A and B are shown apart, each in its own frame.
Chain A
Amino acid sequence: MECHKIQRELSAYLDQEVPSFTKKKIEKHLDGCYECRLKYEELSALVGNLNNYQSIGLSNDFTDKVICKIEEENAIYNLSLEDWLSSLFVNNKLITIAMLIISFLGAISLAFIANELQLFTLGTILYHLFSSSYFVSDKLIQLYPELMLYLQSALVVSILSFIVVIQRFKKRDDS
């Protein structure tokens, strides 16, 4: 092998990361080539110096600083609304599901009311979307008029729970 090829392999040879075949070739070449041997010795000295590199010390309060910063960030509670809502859902699965069902029923009652007022096309659309076609038929309301009352109370509860959620979110922001 020529010198430049050998010199390209010296680094890996020094780290014993060359196949034994190449290793023998390099050793043979080094025996006969003063320039490459000098390069190898220089490289070996450099790596020795790098290996013995003294580590620097660090400030005593390093750990405290890190913990302090973590606590600061936790205090700011840098979460987005979606993150907060998802954490709310994970922590209070039952309550959130109940709230969602109640809100859904509330939406149905809104549709009913809108339909009864006969004011908006939107009301009619919502009515058909949520109520008559899938869940609650007109006849059902006619048969059990108190069903309307339940739906309306569900609407009230859903509005109340919505207010509670908003308040809790505001509280989180303030803290």
Chain B
Amino acid sequence: MNKGEKGLIQKCKNGDKDAFRILINKYKTDAVNVAYQMISDRQLAEDIAQEAFIRVYKNIKNFKEDSSFFTWLYKIILNLCRDYFRQQPDEDLLSLEEPPLRNVLRRQVPDEEDAPERYLEKKELQRVIMEGLDTLSFKHRQVIILRDMQGFTYQEIADFLEIPLGTVKSRLNTARSRLQKYLTNSKKKQIN
């Protein structure tokens, strides 16, 4: 944690809302994105990120500063997402097993020069990846997001989730294989 951030946190502890505003502006995009990656719902992701920031503000006096501010925020967001998953009725979880392939854009002959086409392809791939992530369990999705989307190291993930390093390795391997399987199946479906 750098000095500027420490100063900001100190100001927040004294109830300075402008300092907190700076902290929100700094981390809001990452906060919303990690929530979105976890739950694939834009509005809900914003709500969760907002709630996380409110919790941070309420508890900032108890923040020990032995971890980075962002790690702390991250933990709060992940806990909120986990609570959200727990609240979901079982039927919803079942329906996630086979997410409907909405608005499937059929893959055209690739054309390197065609920028809009490439853009659509990329968008489509992202959509399928998001669907694939939806089919994973919470703990598998969590490791993929932390490692591949947020760029944490294995050790950081182990510390963060308080699980052994070996578990991070095997969990990530399983999560990636399942996601890969989903993508392959979904490609097959599109071709047929």
Contact = CB atoms under 8 A, between A and B. Distances in A.
A59 interface: yes
A62 B46 contact: yes
Contacts of B129: 49-50, 53
Nearest to A11: B173
Contacts of A50: 129, 144, 148-149
**Secondary structure of the A contact surface, majority rule:** helix
Contacts of B186: none
B160 interface: no
A66 B126 contact: no
A69 B50 CA distance: 9
Contacts of A53: 37, 126, 129, 148-149
A62 B122 CA distance: 27
Given A50-B149, A56-B42, A65 B50 contact: yes
Counting contact residues on chain A (CB < 8 A from B), the size range is 20 to 34
A70 B57 contact: yes
A77 to B, nearest CB: 12
Interface stretch (B27-35, B74-82, B87-95): B27-35
Contacts of A7: 177
Interface residues of B, number: 42
A69 B54 contact: yes
A67 to B, nearest CB: 6
Interface stretch (A39-47, A93-101, A106-114, A144-152): A39-47
Contact of B183 (A12, A46, A56, A69): A46
Contacts of A55: 29-30, 33
A63 B169 contact: no
A46 B179 contact: yes
Interface string A1-45: 000000111111001010000000000000000000000001100
Contacts of A142: none
B46 A59 contact: yes
B13 interface: no
A169 B125 CA distance: 59
A165 to B, nearest CB: 24
Given A51-B149, A53-B129, A70-B54, A58 B29 contact: yes
B173 A58 contact: no
Interface string A50-83: 1101111111001101110110010000000000
A69 B118 CA distance: 41
Interface in B156-171: 169-170
Contact of B169 (A11, A58, A73): A11
Interface of B: 17, 20-21, 24-25, 28-30, 32-33, 36-37, 42, 45-46, 49-50, 53-54, 57-58, 122, 125-126, 129, 144, 147-149, 151, 153-154, 169-170, 172-173, 176-177, 179-180, 183-184
Please list the 10 inter-chain residue pairs (A to B) with the smallest Cβ-Cβ separation, ordered nearest first. A50-B148, A11-B173, A55-B33, A58-B32, A66-B53, A63-B24, A12-B169, A17-B154, A66-B50, A11-B176
19 contacts: A11-B173, A11-B177, A15-B147, A43-B176, A43-B180, A50-B144, A51-B148, A54-B126, A55-B29, A55-B33, A57-B29, A58-B46, A58-B49, A62-B24, A62-B50, A63-B21, A67-B17, A67-B24, A70-B54
